[in-house]
Chain A
Amino acid sequence: MTRHGSGNGRLRPSAASSPWGAQAPPSARGPSRRSLLRAGLAGAGATMLGGGLAGCGTPLSAGLAGSELSPGTLSFWNLFGGGDGARLTTMLEQYEAETEGANSLQAATFAWGNPYYTKVSLATLGDKPPDVAVAHLTRAKNLARAGLLTEITDDMLAMVDLRAEDFNQKVWEEQKTDGKDWVIPLDTHPYVMYYNRAVCEPAGLLDSDGLLVPIEGMEAWEAALAAAKEVTGEYAMSTPNINETSTPWRWFYSLYAQQGGAPFLSEGGTELTFDEGLVESTLAYIQSISERELMPRAADYGGAAQHMFSGRSAFYLQGVWEITTAQSIEGLDFGMTPIPTIYDQPANQADSHTFILPAMDRSEEQMLRAMGFIKSMLDQGLTWAEGGHVLSYLPTLNSPEVQALEPQSGYASAADNAVYDDPAWYSGSGSNFEVIVGAQIGIVMQGIASPTEAISNIRSQLGNYANTADPL
């Protein structure tokens, strides 16, 4: 390669003593005003071209000119992977069939947890949110407070023949923020107990129908654990605590709430108001279960499930969504029931999936389309219920098909005894709150930390958040 590039060492234009020859430019002083204008127009033209010629609504026009993406299509974001995701796909296909449009729906699935909520929030802040999205009830409250949601009014519900009374009232009340409605509930997914019938039968824990005899009170619970351990020779129950923070939290909080414990957080999370003595005793009890080898000291998500699936433990405590996995295990005969009321009152930790309408300017048509989509999803509740979720939309919940589902019927009452995480800008499903507290509970369960240590860690770590100004 020669020094002057272009392959041949000669300059353009060719070989005159001065490169200018007869080509002296009219304005030697830099780009003329005319050429600048031309350039500017070209640039503006390109942008408009992007918007016009490329077709409104295409990514090209949206990307270049910020125009609306795919007008006439409903965009829907969710975080359902795995079994839930497959179920959702069925429901979405049904919607597409109903609306008879080739491009009536644009659905996108994102990774569960913070990445999903971050995407939804940022999209709303950037004025290009999806038409409809899924949100956990606890997270939706924060989105509402941040001004990222569109309020759900009675008129909007009426557009598709819905009324507030059509929904599980516990959930409906729970979702209100500042007295207004911000979501349309889809389901409640509580923390429940799966039981292996092959173990429970010889342990004498089943009734004549093969269902678990309701366990009430500490004595009965301890007796059941003991009986189960005798049969398995290993463990009585299992629930994960390795690489898991949400599950330990759910286990602990269910027990704490059963004892009528004071709210964990108050005043929007600025105050830590948990009953310390109660927390300590509950943690001590939980720790004693693993100490007495009634549950594995350390188990991860899959491992804890496997324990029950293979009969090494009788009870598996987890969210309802594992039902699909359990049903796929060959030869496993199992049932499901709410977390036993070991203490004073029935309670189990839960959250709900809801539909939200991110804040944006909607035309009448867009609003109708969004509501229509939600209605279609609600009407397909049977498919969703098969995934273990307890429906919030009463007409579908009370339908004979849903009522007949087994083993779902075993824990239907769990939705009414659901306790949700206390509201705070840093709490909710998959939030920092659950990560912090759940991590401490997890190490208590593993016997690595004492209840007192855990409490002091919780205090200091949560304290950071409690003392931080609310960003919402």
Chain B
Amino acid sequence: MSAPPAQPIAPADARTASPHQRTTTLFHHDKPAWLFLAPFAIFYVLFLIWPTIFMIISSFFNSSLVSSGLGSFAGLANYREMLTKDEFWSAMWHTLQFTLYTVPPLVILAFVFAILVNRMKRGQGLFRVVFFVPFILPSATISLIWLYIFTPANGLLALVQTWLGFDAPRPVLGTPSLAMIGIALATIWWTIGFNFILYLAALQDVPRETYEAASVDGASPWQQIRYITIPLLSRTTTLVVVLQIIASLKIFDQVYLMTSGGPGTSTQVALGLITNTAFTDFRVGAASAASVLLFIVIMVIAALRQLTERSERTA
């Protein structure tokens, strides 16, 4: 960095300076600061804060989409309904199921790919493109592609299955026990690029000297990976895992597009249930209660992440 400017603008340490001193040495720029913040702040309040408040309020009423006003007071009835409703818990379970099916592969595979690609002398760019391009595609595109691959009886998957010797391959998206797996597969193909890039960037931060030193000491590639790479990447892994989990909790697109929550309700997820309750059944109050519950779950996990990040940073 260049030499620090030697002028009176040098900021005094705000914490040790007396308030009086602070105001003379640090410029308090309230008005300009707030002017800069204003546009963003307006949208923030309008589309983040106010909706959250409104959602919480509606959850205590029998609000309906087709009638104006809040509707009759329902107290905790909406919450009670959701917490005792099979459909709600199964939606939460399916959301969790989706998370369990996608997070490990998305983390482990991305990690493995990144490590292997990182070792390459040439062609890294090509691999980057191949794994990452699906990530920029719209969910609608990938859902249509995979819906089509999963076409029962004569889709690509069915064809491959017959080549491999399966006699009567079951329709993936039409079989309750397989449908979520199908959705997970499509998701993994779609989003692995993101984690892959994160890992690749982190790997390329590890100084070559570390590996060279280990290699000189006789460590095999496996050992290098196990004792150098993995520990050094633990922070990225935590990040990737938490990001994945939060993203999985918000899942909506693929389920809506590929199975509409079916067969039956065997793949219905939390956001799917919420939007159905609100926009098809018109029951905004009940849907808001479910939204609040989902909201809390996600916030708790996100908060945990912020806390661990903080402690990691100070550690």
Contact = CB atoms under 8 A, between A and B. Distances in A.
**Chains A and B share a contact (CB less than 8 Å):** yes
Interface of A: 29-30, 114-115, 117-118, 121-122, 125, 146-148, 243, 245, 425-426, 432, 435, 439, 461, 464, 468-469, 471-472
Interface in B34-89: 35, 62, 64-67, 71-72, 74, 81, 85-86
A118 B62 contact: no
B174 A146 contact: no
B118 interface: no
The CB with the most chain B CB atoms within 10 A, among A146, A147, A425, A471, is that of: A471
Nearest 9 A-B pairs (CB), nearest first? A471-B64, A146-B66, A471-B282, A469-B62, A118-B280, A471-B283, A114-B280, A118-B279, A243-B263
B309 interface: no
Contacts of B215: none
A121 B284 CA distance: 14
B212 interface: no
A468 B285 CA distance: 11
Contacts of A432: 281
Interface in B1-52: 32, 35
Given A148-B66, A472-B64, A121 B286 contact: no
A472 B66 contact: yes
21 contacts: A30-B35, A115-B260, A118-B280, A121-B279, A146-B66, A146-B282, A147-B66, A147-B67, A243-B264, A439-B264, A468-B81, A468-B286, A469-B62, A469-B71, A469-B74, A471-B62, A471-B64, A471-B67, A471-B282, A471-B284, A472-B282
Interface string B77-110: 0000100011000000000000000000000000
Given A243-B174, A464-B85, A471 B65 contact: yes
Interface of B: 32, 35, 62, 64-67, 71-72, 74, 81, 85-86, 174, 260, 262-264, 276, 279-284, 286
Contacts of B67: 147, 471-472
B66 A464 contact: no
Contacts of A464: 81, 85
Contacts of B263: 243
Contacts of A122: 279
A114 B281 CA distance: 9
A245 B263 CA distance: 11
Contacts of B262: 243
A125 B85 CA distance: 28
B8 to A, nearest CB: 18
Nearest to A461: B86
A121 B66 contact: yes
A118 B263 CA distance: 20
Given A30-B35, A243-B263, A471 B174 contact: no
Contacts of A439: 264
A442 to B, nearest CB: 10
Contacts of B65: 121, 125, 471
A459 to B, nearest CB: 14
Contact of B66 (A29, A118, A435, A471): A471
A189 B20 CA distance: 84
A19 B30 CA distance: 26
Contacts of A114: 276, 280
A125 B66 contact: yes
Contacts of B260: 115
A126 to B, nearest CB: 11
B32 A30 contact: yes
Contacts of B174: 243
Contacts of B62: 469, 471
A471 B281 contact: yes
Contacts of A121: 65-66, 279-280, 282
A121 B62 CA distance: 19
